[in-house]
Amino acid sequence: MLRHMPDDWADRHVARWRDHWLGIEFDDDIEAVVVRMGRLMKHFRAMTAVALAEVGLQDHEYETLHLLMIRDTPGHATPSALAADLGISNAGMSGRLESMEQAGWVRRRASLEDRRRVDIEVTEAGVAIWRAAIELRGSEEQRVVGVLTPAERAELAALLKKLTLSVEDVSSRASPRTPPRRSRSR
């Protein structure tokens, strides 16, 4: 059981907005959960920006290195697979890889399976700068989530998984042309 904690930004937000939604279903707990998740993600995005600036990476460079490193084939991918993972065009991927290759973080190599195809490979310098950014990001994630006990972290992870599975289930059934339902601004 959680002991009483002081009010946070979400508590104040809920209290301010509660009476503005007359005639509209408003659940304090749902609003507080969604607002807190948004605030945490905003904080983590800001801390990631600080970490990337400290190591000298731009967001898109980090995102590309990260997707290269967390693959089933760590550090290796085709440009088209990377473009698909990143949700960008092949032309956009080509430009991104060009600048990252000039920085020495990736290299293009002829595929071992098909010499007509090009594969992308992370260099030692690319791994080093990605690890530096990951360590800075991870230290803030550890600091924030570390206020929870191991049992609380496991419970939170399970609860968030339940929410994520709900989103994934809805996403898999949605028509590609049907935009997701918009919620009111927070």
* Token digits of residue 54: 């400290």
- Look at phi and psi of residue 100 and say left if phi exceeds 0, alpha if psi is from -120 to 50, else beta: alpha
Residues 62 and 66: their CA atoms lie apart, in Å, by: 6
pLDDT of residue 185: 46
- Element housing 77 (H / E): strand 76-77
pLDDT digits (tens, 9 = 90+) for 125-144: 999 999 999 999 999 999 99
* Token digits of residue 52: 């990337």
Residue with tokens 């590609």: 176
Hey, where are the domains in the chain? 26-144
Residues 89 and 57: their CA atoms lie apart, in Å, by: 21
CATH 1.10.10.10 is the classification of domain 26-144: yes
Spans of the chain, pLDDT less than 70: 1-3, 21-22, 174-186
User: What sign has the CA pseudo-torsion 16, 22, 23, 27?
Assistant: positive
pLDDT of residue 17: 74
- Element housing 31 (H / E): helix 28-55
Q: What are phi and psi of 106, to 5 degrees?
A: -140, 165
pLDDT of residue 180: 55
